[in-house]
Structure 1
Amino acid sequence: MEQQETTEGVLTGHGVRGVKSAARTVEVLEVLAARGNEPVTVRELCEAMGAPRSSMYALLRTLTDLGWVRSDSTHSLYSIGIRALLAGTTYLDTDPLLQVVHPHVEQVSKRLEETVHYGRLDRTDMVYLATHQSTAYERTRNRVGRRLPAYSTSLGKAVLAHFDDAELEAHLPPSLTALTPHTIISRAALKEDLAATRERGYSIDDEENTPGLRCFGVALPIRSGVTDALSCSVPIERLTPEHEKEIIEALRSTADITLQIVRGLGGLVS
């Protein structure tokens, strides 16, 4: 007989007893979002979340009716729905810091003729909030809203370099998975890399996410806890010592300008 779930709440990170059904709903949406354009079955969701089939099916039907989840005609495959897009778009439209940073991302990208990103730390990942693609070479288009591990990105390492050991551990997964043969998967090696980032003032992703690409990142220490950063991605064949210096100076200058604007506005972010 299938085990029934209890209605007890779950203890949140703030010590407040949350609502289990709400937590389960958010978890479903996050799993579907992480799958991208690959639909998932009820069974796969149940196995991933350790949930009974009956309650999962009922939750999926409710979310489908409300537009947060979509299903195929047989109600056997599920993916993220249009309501999630609307909520995400609202976040982008109303984030005050993004409104300041976005024009500068576009400007520095055009000046360098390279792809420039702006991202924010969310748990163990960096979420890409703005991207301006280089027109100098062909590349798969970057997607706003995508997530990549903080430990393997120049965006993420620029942020993680500001953390002490306890804070760093809170933003790392249990094990560091290699995305390419160059990805740092040793915690000790990562800490050495972050120490080097602090010393030189910028981070480097040396083909750790995408073969053939080197990325440079600088943090935007605007909030009380550093969460935001800028980065520039460059095909290695386009990179020279002179161009690398130009990129780093442009990123630093853009970060400085952004900080000055935000401080001048006062109270823009908390």
Structure 2
Amino acid sequence: MEQRATSYHSQGLNRALAILRLLGKASTPLTLAAIASQLELPKSTAVRLLLVMEEEGFVRRSGEHPAYSIGHAIHEIAEGYRPPSMAEVTAGVLSRLADEVGFTANLGVLEGPSVLHLHVAEPQRALRFATGGMLDFAYCTGLGKLLMSVLPEAAIDAHLPEAEPYTSWTPHTITTRAGIVAELERIREAGHSVDDEERNRGVTCMAVLLPTDDAPTLALSVSGPSGELDASARERLLPVLNAAAAELVALPGFDTALAPLRSRMTLA
């Protein structure tokens, strides 16, 4: 009996939410007949639900031949709505990836000569690579180089240091524009990027693009000890990273979280 009652109330809630969605999309108020017809509801059911929602302020009734529209309670709720951040949306996938492969997972986007870390997840192990902050250089990191590789050559200068030679963080750092241009061409051919101790001694990073159609372009990377991220390990990891990148894009809320970034990059 309790299960049947719960099912009944769930059905009522589903129908009420369907009415709110219908009214929210409508350009003009809808009559009872229109609501019942479009949602294939008995008029008696629609009347009962609309009465409750009107009493609670979720719908508003107007006109000689009553028609319904969204009420003040919906607007009050909407004013308090805060879109989820990219970190909130992607945290589960990145944490699972980090634990699965044993390396730090990082999601980033270009911001001038830097990579902005949108979210970083560290694996549950004693030896792990920790990022130094929210921003890092683009020219000497796997994320940065990969993100620059999708740009036309004329656009990469905005993401490089002002003067050559660039700071050499390790003996492997690429310190000239010509060297970066050649590296970006190799990345385009490979479809992924590698920072092999270019930013930090003993640390290797591998990055892939997220398969999105619109800007801004995002990239996903894993970073860890160079001895564990050699060429054979990277070959095994590539399909895992690409699968995780596709999973991120398909997450509910991903497009919503991407919208503020898109606006920010457009204004910049």
Specify the alignment match of 2:162 in structure 1: 174
- Which whole-Å CA distance do the structure 2 matches of 1:266 and 1:148 have between them? 25
Task: Determine if the alignment matches structure 1 residue 258 to structure 2 residue 248.
Answer: yes
The 5-angstrom pairing of residues 124-139 of structure 1 reads: 124-139=113-128
State the shift of 1:137 in Å: 3.9
Q: SS of 1:257's equivalent?
A: helix
SS in 2 for 1:237: coil
CA distance in 2, matches of 1:202, 1:127: 18
Specify the code of the residue in structure 2 equivalent to 1:197.
Answer: I
TM-superposed deviation, 1:116: 1.0
Q: SS at the partner of 2:227? A: helix
Is the counterpart of residue 98 in structure 1 residue 109 in structure 2?
no
Contact 1:262 1:268 survives alignment (8 Å): no
SS of equivalent residue, structure 1 residue 152:
coil
Q: Which residue of 2 aligns with 1:112?
A: 101
Identity of aligned residues (%): 28
Asked if residue 247 in structure 1 is aligned to residue 237 in structure 2, the reply is: yes
1:196-235 equivalences under 5 Å are: 196-222=186-212, 224-235=214-225
SS in 2 for 1:151: coil
Name the residue aligned to 1:86.
none
Query: Counterparts of 1:5-20 in structure 2 under 5 Å?
Result: none
TM superposition score normalised by structure 2: 0.59
**Paired AA for residue 220 in structure 1:** L
Q: Of the two structures, which has the highest relative contact order with CA contacts closer than 8 Å and spacing of 6 or more?
A: 2
Pair 1:265–1:130, CA change in 2 (3 A): closer
The aligned amino acid for 1:169 is D
Q: Which of the residues 228, 232, 238 maps onto 2:228?
A: 238
2:148 to 128, 135, 160: 160
Q: Report the RMSD for the aligned CA atoms in angstroms.
A: 2.6
Q: Which residue matches 1:57?
A: none
Tell me the secondary structure at the aligned position of residue 194 of structure 2: strand
- Rg larger for: 2
Deviation at 1:190, TM superposition (A): 0.8
Q: State the number of aligned residues.
A: 177
- Point out where structure 1 has 5 or more consecutive residues left out of the alignment: 1-92
What CA distance in whole angstroms lies between the structure 2 residues aligned with 1:124 and 1:134?
28
TM-score norm. by structure 1 comes to 0.58
Write out aligned runs for 1:13-28 (5 A): none
C-alpha change, 1:223 and 1:177, in structure 2 (3 Å) is farther
Query: Residue 106 of structure 2 contacts residue 221 of structure 2 at CA under 8 Å; is this kept in 1?
Result: yes
- Residues 162 and 226 in structure 1, CA contact (< 8 A), matched pair in contact too: no
Match of residue 180, structure 2, among 187, 190, 193? 190
Instruction: Give 1:134's aligned amino acid.
Output: P
Q: Alpha-carbon deviation of 1:263?
A: 9.2
Q: 1:126 to 1:223 in 2, by over 3 A?
A: farther
Shift of the 265–205 alpha-carbon distance from structure 1 to 2, 3 Å rule, reads closer
- For 2:189, give the aligned amino acid: E
How many angstroms apart in 1 are the aligned matches of 2:254 and 2:231?
35
Structure 2: tracts of 5 or more residues without a match: 1-81, 263-268
Number of the residue aligned with 1:73: none
- State the AA in 2 paired with 1:135: Q
**SS across alignment from 2:174:** coil
- Is the contact made by 1:220 and 1:226 (CA closer than 8 Å) also made in structure 2? no
The alpha carbon displacement at 1:142 in A equals 2.9
Cα distance in 2 between the residues matched to 1:252 and 1:132: 17
